[in-house]
Structures are given as structure tokens and as C-alpha cells.
Chains A and B, each alone.
Chain A
Amino acid sequence: MTQLAARGVVKAYGPTPALRGVTLDVAEGEIVAVTGPSGCGKSTLLHCLAGILRPDAGQVTWRGERIDTWSEAARSKLRRTEFGVLFQFGQLVAELTAAENVALPLLLAGTGRREARAAALGWLERLDVADVADVRPGRMSGGQQQRCALARALVTEPRVLFADEPTGALDTLTGEQVLTHLVRLARQQHTSVVLVTHEPRIAAYADREVMLRDGVVDTTGLGLERPFAGERR
């Protein structure tokens, strides 16, 4: 069942078009890789789907309801409650420990401090970084920071996880460990994932790959807008 959809989404930055009419469906529990060369619009599409950016034209729907027309406050609430976001780097609050960072979304949603900390510790444990729970980001490795950021993105048990080049700043092995955790936990929770990457090797973890080229879905067949052989779900 389609959970999140873009319909003819158009977005420009001043005179520069980023998306020129993109249509994309994301099913419940589906992991979709959005790929393409630099500047093709893949991050802009992620931002539009996540309600961070408002499209200039076209629609974004969440469970059949248009969200692109919602107020910033309503979209912000949707992001806090239903969506999780993971970027390439620089997401953790430097002054807070790992556990405090992970607990933050729950505290913002009104969860009690003790309960939020317990949930945060549970997620750090699942991501094998419980040992840095009381450490601040500046004293963690890049891989530990990204695992904490992933824990923070998943702590609210979102329906959709948006991941923009989540391993881009990590070495191959560390990036792979983060990605393996991401995919395993998303499948366990039946969380949909929109995974933006320019690497075929990373896209291969997804159920489906959609390639963008110059702001539109590539229809030459290279983007493989179809489930791959050997479906894994």
C-alpha cells in the first residue's frame, strides 16, 4: 500500500530547476533508493517528500492526504511524529551526550525524562554504541556519531526514515555497518526508507532503485524503476 507519494513535483531554486515533475510512490515497509549524479535533484526530492521543502507545483501525499499544502507547524509535527531523518553528518547536538541526543525527539514529544533515557539507551544498545551513551559527539568516532544519529532518527519508531547519503562521510567498512543496521532495523519495524545515494553499491541494499537525471525520473531503463530480481522482502 502506498504510504508516501510525490505527484508531478516541481521545485526550483530561483531560476535553477531542481525537480521538473517527479512522480514516485513509496509503499509501507519499502526501502527505495533514489540515485543519480550530483545535482540531479535527489536531495531536493527527499526534502519535498519529508515536508522540509514545499514544492512549487505538484503534490506530496502522506497516506492519501496532501501534506504540501499544510502549514510549516503541521509539517513539522508530522516530521517529529511519523518521520525520521538521517543526513550525512553534523546532526548531533555537540553539548549533549549520545543518550541525551537520542532522547531529544522523545522529550520534544512530551515523553518523561526517565522513560526517554531508557528508550535512548535501548536504541544505543541495538546499534552497538551503548558504551558511548554518556559521551559527547566530539569524543566519538564518525561511525559512532552516525549510529547515534540513526538511533535518534529511529527512537520515535517513525513510519518513514529519510536517509540522505547516510554513509557518505564514513569509510567503507564503517559505512557498511551503519547501513546494515539501518536496513535490518527498518525491516524489523516495517519502516519505509527513502535512501538517497549516488553509489550503486549502497543502492543495492534497497528493494527498488529510482534514478533521477536532470530533475526527472530517468526512463531509459538505467534507473530500473521496477523491483529488482531476487526480491528480499
Chain B
Amino acid sequence: MSTTHVLLGLLAAGNRHGYDLKRAHDTRLPRARPLAFGQVYATLGRLARDGLVVATGQERESGPDRTAYALTGRGREELDAWLAAVEPPAPYVTSTLFAKVVVALLVADVDTARAYLVAQARAHTDRLRELTAIKTAPTATLDDVVAADYAIVHLDADLRWLRTTLDRVADWHREVHP
């Protein structure tokens, strides 16, 4: 994920200082990889250096001075170009999950590979249930629901693959070890 472009997008809605940006990020992208305050300030520094954002002044409430930032014209162009570029579907099958099953079949017997698949399916199923509980909680916001949906459909796809592969594992092992 491009933290740079997410921050540009959040600034497109109005000027914000670093603390506000971090909070807006956590609200809009729940369950994303945690974003540290330090990363926000470092990114803002780079964006200001490149002319994509500009400091608009200091504000002070009860704590230390805070510098608010605004999106520049160039920043808006960069954001629009990023949004207009279609993300290519992943060209390679590169998941660790897939690689582990292949290697398990190479170095172990069918039962070991099967045990790994079952354990992995359990972990996926438990996570699927946690996310389903999050999205169906009465307090869930649409941000929570959309973020959970994204993770759920990917876990669901992995689970289908795990269960189908479990049915194929004996034949697959025979093919790998003729």
C-alpha cells in the first residue's frame, strides 16, 4: 500500500496536521498495517520537500505546536495520476502459503502435508470468524465492514484452495514422488 498516496488523499479533503492525519488514516483504513506517527511526519517531510504538500502554519491547542499541511497543485496531480492507474492483477503465484505446501510435499509425506493444510485451514477459519464478528457487531462502521469484507473474501479464497488441495494432496504427492 502506498502510504504517500493515502496521506495525499486524506489531505485532499482539507488541511490537516500530522496527528489528525494519523487518526484519519486509522479510521478510514481499519485493520491496515499500523502506521506510526514517526512515519507520518517523515512522509510529510518528503512530500513537502518534493512540493506535493505545503505547510500552512502552526496551530497550538494544549500540547506542542502542530504544523498543518495542505495539498499543492502538483500534489493533486500526483494523487489523480495514482488513482487513474489500474493496479495490475498479481502476475505470479508467490504466496508463502502456496510455497509451504509445495515444499511440505517435497520434503515430507502425505500425512505431514495434510496436517499442515488442516492446521492452516483452522487458523484461516478462526480469523474468518473474528472478522465476521467485527463486521456484524452493532457498533461496526461502514469503514470496518468494507475493510473486513476485503480480508474475508481473500481468506475465503485461501480456504477454498486449502480444502480443494487437501482433496488433491495424495495424487499430488504421487506425481511429485513417482
Do A201 and B136 form a contact, CB below 8 Å, given A220-B114, A221-B122?
Answer: no
Per a CB cutoff under 8 Å, which of B130, B136, B163 touches A205?
B136
Determine if A201 and B152 form an interchain contact, defined as CB atoms under 8 angstroms apart. yes
> B118 at the A/B interface (Cβ < 8 Å)?
yes
- With A201-B128, A204-B128, A224-B122 given, is the CB distance from A232 to B133 under 8 Å? yes
Chain B residue with Cβ nearest A36: B163
Q: How far is the CB of B7 from chain A (nearest CB, A)?
A: 30
Inter-chain contact A200/B130, CB cutoff 8 Å: no
Q: Which of B94-145 contact A (CB under 8 A)?
A: 114, 118-119, 121-122, 125-126, 128-133, 136
Known: A221-B118, A222-B118. A230 touches B156 (CB 8 A): no
CB nearest neighbor in A for B133: A232
A180, B130: Cα distance in complex, Å: 15
How many angstroms between the C-alpha atoms of A184 and B159 in the bound complex? 25
Assess the A200–B156 pair: CB atoms within 8 A.
yes
Closest to B115 in A: A221
In the complex, chain B residues whose CB is within 8 Å of the CB of A232? 133
Q: Return chain B residues, CB-CB under 8 Å to A184.
A: 136
Contact residues in A for B128 (Cβ distance below 8 Å): 200-201, 204
Whether B156 lies near A209 (C-beta < 8 A) is no
* Residue in contact with A229 in the complex, picked from B118, B129, B153, B155, CB distance below 8 Å: B129
Q: A97 to B148: give the CA distance in the assembly, Å.
A: 37
Asked if B125 contacts A228 (CB within 8 A), the reply is yes
B46 interfacial by beta-carbon distance below 8 Å: no
A209 to B126, CA, bound (A): 11
The 8 A CB mask of A171-204 against B (1 = contact, 0 = none) is: 0000000001001100000000000000111001
Contact B153 A204 (CB under 8 A): no
Q: How far is the CA of A184 from the CA of B140 in the complex (A)?
A: 14
Out of A201, A209, A224, A230, which one reaches B133, CB within 8 Å? A230
Give the size range of A's interface with the partner: 10 to 19
Chain B nearest CB: distance from A168 CB in Å? 15
The one of B121, B129, B160, B166 that contacts A204, using a Cβ cutoff of 8 Å: B129
Complex Cα distance, B125 from A4, in Å, reads: 25
Chain B residues whose C-beta falls within 8 Å of the C-beta of A183 in the assembled complex: 136
- Looking at B132, B136, B160, the one whose CB has the most chain A CB atoms below 10 A away is B132
Q: Tell me the complex Cα distance, A180–B136, Å.
A: 7
Which B residues lie within 8 Å of A224 (CB)? 122, 125
Provide the A208-233 mask, 1 if CB < 8 A to any CB of B, else 0.
Answer: 01000000000011101000111010
Bound complex: CA of A220 vs CA of B117, how far in Å? 11
- Which residues, 23 to 65 on B, are CB-close (under 8 Å) to A? none
Q: Which chain A residues lie closer than 8 Å to B136 at the CB level?
A: 180, 183-184, 205
Q: How far is the CB of A202 from chain B (nearest CB, A)?
A: 9
**Cα–Cα, bound, A28→B166 (Å):** 33
- Closest Cβ of chain A to B119, distance in Å, is 8
Contact A200 B159 (CB under 8 A): yes
**Known contacts being A183-B136, A220-B114, A230-B130, is A200 close to B153, with CB within 8 Å?**
no
Task: Known A-B contacts: A180-B136, A200-B160. Give 20 more (CB < 8 A).
Answer: A184-B136, A199-B156, A200-B125, A200-B156, A200-B159, A201-B128, A201-B132, A201-B156, A204-B129, A205-B132, A205-B136, A220-B166, A221-B122, A222-B121, A222-B166, A224-B122, A228-B125, A228-B129, A229-B126, A229-B129
Kindly list the 6 A-B residue pairs having the minimum CB-CB distance in the complex, ordered from nearest.
A204-B132, A201-B156, A200-B159, A204-B128, A221-B118, A204-B129
Please list 20 pairs of residues, one from A and one from B, whose beta carbons are closer than 8 Å in the complex, sorted by A's number. Answer: A180-B136, A183-B136, A200-B125, A200-B155, A200-B159, A200-B160, A200-B163, A201-B152, A205-B136, A209-B125, A220-B118, A220-B166, A221-B119, A221-B122, A222-B118, A222-B166, A228-B126, A229-B126, A229-B129, A230-B130
